[in-house]
Each structure stands twice: as C-alpha cells, then as structure tokens.
Chains A and B, each alone.
Chain A
Amino acid sequence: RKEVEQDPGPFNVPEGATVAFNCTYSNSASQSFFWYRQDCRKEPKLLMSVYSSGNEDGRFTAQLNRASQYISLLIRDSKLSDSATYLCVVIVIKAAGNKLTFGGGTRVLVKP
C-alpha cells in the first residue's frame, strides 16, 4: 500500500465552483500534514498546514480525519490561477530528519 495516496484527477472545475478532494495515508504514526501546490515543472510550494481541528485560509479549507487516516482540501470560488497539482504531504516525526512524504498529486484544471 502506498504511504500517501491521492486521486490523480484531473478535476475539471468551472471557474467559481467548489472542488474538494482527499488524500489517504497509511502510517498511523504520521504527525504532521500539509498541502503543497506544484505548478508545471516548478518546485512544490506550501499551500497550508493541516491541523487536527481543521483550518481555513481564505478560499481553502483543510480537514484531518485521524481515525480514517485521510486529509481533505476544499477550494471555494475557484479561480483560473488555482489550476495546479495539489500535493498531499505527511511527516512521520523523526529526531532530525522530518522528511516529507509526498502523494502523487491531484491535478486541478479550472476552466472559464
């Protein structure tokens, strides 16, 4: 089983619509969770951390469900500029490593 699993998409979203997608992780010891955004041929950039209580950053809402081992991302009022690949990222804490474990990404295409 993959450590971090995502629906690759693409999710074709009309501009202004809402889109949501999940990510599942296999290691129950995972402690930190993030959504990164990656544009084509660019580096991953942190979109938001995901907290146990859920958190919101403008049009973006992230949720964590530890019992079912998944996190979600919801994008409201989609903009054309939201078109990107969204990477689910997990850290299983180690003393100094804190390596990021990435999912394969969910591709979102926002269309006019």
Chain B
Amino acid sequence: EPEVTQTPSHQVTQMGQEVILRCVPISNHLYFYWYRQILGQKVEFLVSFYNNEISEKSEIFDDQFSVERPDGSNFTLKIRSTKLEDSAMYFCASRGTGSIQETQYFGPGTRLLVL
C-alpha cells in the first residue's frame, strides 16, 4: 500500500536555527498538507499546497515558515529561525483528486525539539 514518508523521524535543534522537514507524498497525489501537534494538544493545520502554490495557511504559518516542492517527489517545510514553541510533531499529509471527501493520508511525522 502506498504511503507518505517523512524524514527525519526526530530532529533536535537550537533556538534560532533553521530546520527543513522533508516529506515524500503518495506518488499520484496532488494536494499536500502540513499539520503539527504539540505534545498533549490537538492536531493543528498549518498549510495546504496545490499546483505549486499555497492554497490556504493558518495563522500559525507566519513568515518564519515556508513550503516548497523542489522536485516531483519531495514536499518540504522550512522553519527559518526556530523558537522553543515550535517543538512539536509535524505531520505531512497528501490526497488525490476527485471526491472532496477523499482521504488525507498522513506520514509518520517528524518530532522536532527546539532547545
């Protein structure tokens, strides 16, 4: 069964450093998403991406965040200058076209710890 993959599984970084989280969505999917989940809290939407541009972003997704699809397979989330409060699990998701109810498939997540 096709799956979304994410690397790295864990990332520890110092406050103020840049991090890039990588995702490989399911190959024929066209809609891509990043969500985050702070420990003990709910899953929160960050950004959706379609046709090489952001289609929607949340208020969490400020100027410190950016997304990119640098080639035909990877989808990345960059945090330019990490803050302590960026510590969370970051999930990538993708979905295909067709029915608006089509499932979003989640990757296993990257656990980011900012020290």
Binding site for B on A (CB under 8 A): 31-32, 38, 41-46, 49, 87, 91, 93-105
Sample of 12 more A-B contacts, CB < 8 Å, known A32-B101, A87-B43, A99-B33: A31-B100, A41-B89, A41-B111, A44-B91, A45-B106, A97-B55, A98-B48, A98-B95, A98-B104, A100-B43, A102-B42, A102-B43
- From B43, B56, B106, B107, A97 is in contact (CB under 8 Å) with B56
- From B41, B42, B44, B103, A46 is in contact (CB under 8 Å) with B103
The majority secondary structure among interface residues of chain A is loop
Query: Bound state CA distance, A38 and B51, in angstroms?
Result: 29
Query: Bound state CA distance, A101 and B45, in angstroms?
Result: 7
Contact status A103-B45, CB under 8 Å: no
The majority secondary structure among interface residues of chain B is strand
Contacts of A96 in B (CB 8 A): 31, 48, 50-51, 55-56
Q: Chain B, interface size: which category? A: 20 to 34
Contact status A100-B42, CB under 8 Å: no
Among B81-115, those with CB < 8 Å from A are 89, 91, 93, 95, 100-101, 103-109, 111
